Amino acid sequence: MFMFPDLSQLQRQKDIKVATVGGYINDRLLVSVTNKRVILVNSQTGETVAQITPKSFPCRMCMFDNTRAVVALVDKSLQFININGDCLELGRSFSVNGNVMGVSRSEDRLIVPYRSPPWLEVLSMDG
């Protein structure tokens, strides 16, 4: 069984610098936050570059490349987000068959795991 250390034993480590490989990070970080927003953050300065509000609360997300992401929403749907430089745009969305636990991709397919009952669905990019 894994045990967390006592908080008094934890020490702050130096910040980690991320090297960009292949242009997929592009010094930007896409983050979902608790107030129903998805924000684009400059990873060097920590400043919010752009933000967008999907139709429901985002729970998980997956980046495709530096121009597209898909976000799993709590209303049993997936929402595509287009990243155009410093702008975020809502793309198409579609319903899925249950309470989504996450979303991932494999080549041009979406991998969607569900909570209850636990099962996995492989979808085309069109749903």
Task: Note down pLDDT in tens along the chain; length 127 residues.
Answer: 344 455 555 555 555 444 332 233 467 788 887 778 888 888 788 888 899 999 988 888 888 877 889 998 988 999 999 999 889 999 999 898 888 888 888 878 888 888 877 888 888 876 6
The two three-digit tokens of residue 23, written as one number: 């242009």
Pairing outcome for strands 109-114 and 104-106: antiparallel
Bridge partners of 100?
A: 114
Q: Which amino acid, one-letter code, is at 86?
A: D
The two three-digit tokens of residue 59, written as one number: 């729970």
Selected from 3.40.50.970, 1.10.10.60, 2.40.10.480, 3.40.50.170, the CATH number assigned to the domain covering 24-96 reads 2.40.10.480
Q: Tell me 9's DSSP state.
A: G
Quick check: helix, strand or coil at residue 52?
strand
Omega before 117 cis (within 30°)? yes
